[in-house]
Amino acid sequence: MTKKKLFQILLPLYNKEGEPIPVENYKELKVELTEHFGGLTSYSRSPATGVWKDPKDEIAVDTIIVYEVVSDSREVNYWQNLKVALEKKFDQDEIMIRCQTIETV
């Protein structure tokens, strides 16, 4: 068994104004992640729903898709820079990127 890092990027389908995110944004990210990590998995046919409390303590709901990549290392600077760029590109207060250690066979 080999230990690796699984990164999950939760991407919204709509910006803060409720307008659809341009399809090109997802395509460009797919290309970048595939070139950088050698591949990715996307869950886009059945969008998920995220629910959280916003700063005003109100319930917020977002429809999301998930991109996943596996890497041998964390590459903290890469992910921090990508997060900032995605928040701007997708017009979001925050884009959630999760990392967990996994074992592959």
Q: How far apart are CA 64 and CA 9, in angstroms?
A: 10
Question: Which amino acid is present at 30?
Answer: K
- Give 2-104's CATH code, choosing from 3.90.180.10, 3.30.70.120, 1.10.1660.10, 3.30.390.10: 3.30.70.120
- Which CA distances in Å does 32 have to 28, 35, 65, 82, 102? 6, 5, 17, 10, 23
List alpha helices for the chain, DSSP H: 23-37, 76-89
Note the pLDDT of residue 45.
Answer: 63
Residues 15-44 have pLDDT tens digits of 989 999 999 999 999 999 999 999 999 987
Q: How far apart are CA 91 and CA 20, in angstroms?
A: 11
Residues 47-102 have pLDDT tens digits of 677 776 777 888 877 889 999 999 999 999 999 999 999 999 999 999 999 999 99
Note the pLDDT of residue 47.
Answer: 65
Domain ranges of the chain: 2-104
